[in-house]
Amino acid sequence: DTEVTQTPKHLVMGMTNKKSLKCEQHMGHRAMYWYKQKAKKPPELMFVYSYEKLSINESVPSRFSPECPNSSLLNLHLHALQPEDSALYLCASSHYNEQFFGPGTRLTVL
Amino acid sequence: AQSVTQPDIHITVSEGASLELRCNYSYGATPYLFWYVQSPGQGLQLLLKYFSGDTLVQGIKGFEAEFKRSQSSFNLRKPSVHWSDAAEYFCAARSLSQGNLIFGKGTKLSVKP
């Protein structure tokens, strides 16, 4: 298995909802990342997990809560989001110097 | 701090014409460099990468890129563009301190018949 999978593909949620994004890889990579990409912009780093521990939080608001239950799985828990949080959320895992991206979850906050 | 610059926001080329997308990086040592393509509503697809060695790298879909240390550049080229190449192209460098990718702002490629 040489891919990163993300579910769901699309998500629409209200500002009071709680939802989660899921990312999975079975390539044995020990670093995993969440990026946020707004329309017509490059991806921006949100979080980095290294060996299942959060190593970098790029000053992301607390309404985004990452979790790494095991070496293959990365979650992003969402609560009380704002409409400006609507974006494509990309997960990646890395092997040495190369990152492998998932297809992303397109999130719309109403 | 490391940065990646793509000077061209939008480029339009005719189908069959050659293409060159520019990318400059700022870092003293040799960075790990990548080019990604993204079609509307899609994720990122890796076109090619440069880590070391031969400065001319071949990628998928007929793309190539040349690393020029003297110019801090990693430009993407294709000899003959196809209509399906219309997309957003991102140049990226691996952050030496954090391991994540630092992206340029992207270049939108339009292809006219």
Q: Write out pLDDT tens, residues A46-88.
A: 999 999 999 888 889 999 999 999 999 999 999 999 999 999 9
Q: Do A48 and B99 touch (CB under 8 A)?
A: yes
Chain A residues with beta carbon closer than 8 angstroms to that of B106: 40-42
- What distance in Å separates the CA atoms of residue B48 and residue A57, rounded to the nearest whole number? 28
- What distance in Å separates the CA atoms of residue B84 and residue B110, rounded to the nearest whole number? 10
How far away is chain B from the Cα of A16, in angstroms, using its nearest Cα?
A: 26
How far away is chain A from the Cα of B80, in angstroms, using its nearest Cα?
A: 25
**Mutate which: B25, B52, B101, B105, vs A, most A CBs within 10 A:** B101
Q: Do A42 and B51 touch (CB under 8 A)?
A: no
- What distance in Å separates the CA atoms of residue B94 and residue A96, rounded to the nearest whole number? 10
Banded pLDDT at B76 (limits 50, 70, 90) = very high
User: How does pLDDT run across B54-63, given as a tens digit for each residue?
Assistant: 899 999 999 9
Torsion over CA of A103, A108, B3 and B4, rounded to 10 degrees?
Answer: 60
Residue B29 reports pLDDT greater than 80: no
pLDDT for position A93: 94
DSSP state of A80: S
How far away is chain A from the Cα of B11, in angstroms, using its nearest Cα?
A: 15
Q: What is the mean pLDDT of residues B11-35?
A: 92
Banded pLDDT at B53 (limits 50, 70, 90) = confident
Q: What is the mean pLDDT of chain B?
A: 93
- What distance in Å separates the CA atoms of residue B14 and residue B102, rounded to the nearest whole number? 30
How far away is chain A from the Cα of B96, in angstroms, using its nearest Cα?
A: 9
Q: Do B106 and A97 touch (CB under 8 A)?
A: no
Query: Are B33 and B10 spatial neighbours (Cβ–Cβ below 8 Å)?
Result: no
Nearest to A97 among B88, B94, B98 (CB): B94
pLDDT for position B100: 87
Beta strands A44-50 and A53-57 are antiparallel
pLDDT for position B109: 98
| Nearest residue to A98 via CA among B25, B93, B97 | B93
Beta strands A18-25 and A4-7 are antiparallel
On whether any CB of chain A is under 8 Å from the CB of B99, the answer is yes
Q: Which of residues 11 through 50 in chain B touch A, CB cutoff 8 A?
A: 32, 34, 36, 41-44, 46, 49
pLDDT for position A98: 87
- What distance in Å separates the CA atoms of residue A2 and residue A55, rounded to the nearest whole number? 24
Q: Do B32 and A97 touch (CB under 8 A)?
A: yes
- What distance in Å separates the CA atoms of residue A52 and residue B94, rounded to the nearest whole number? 20
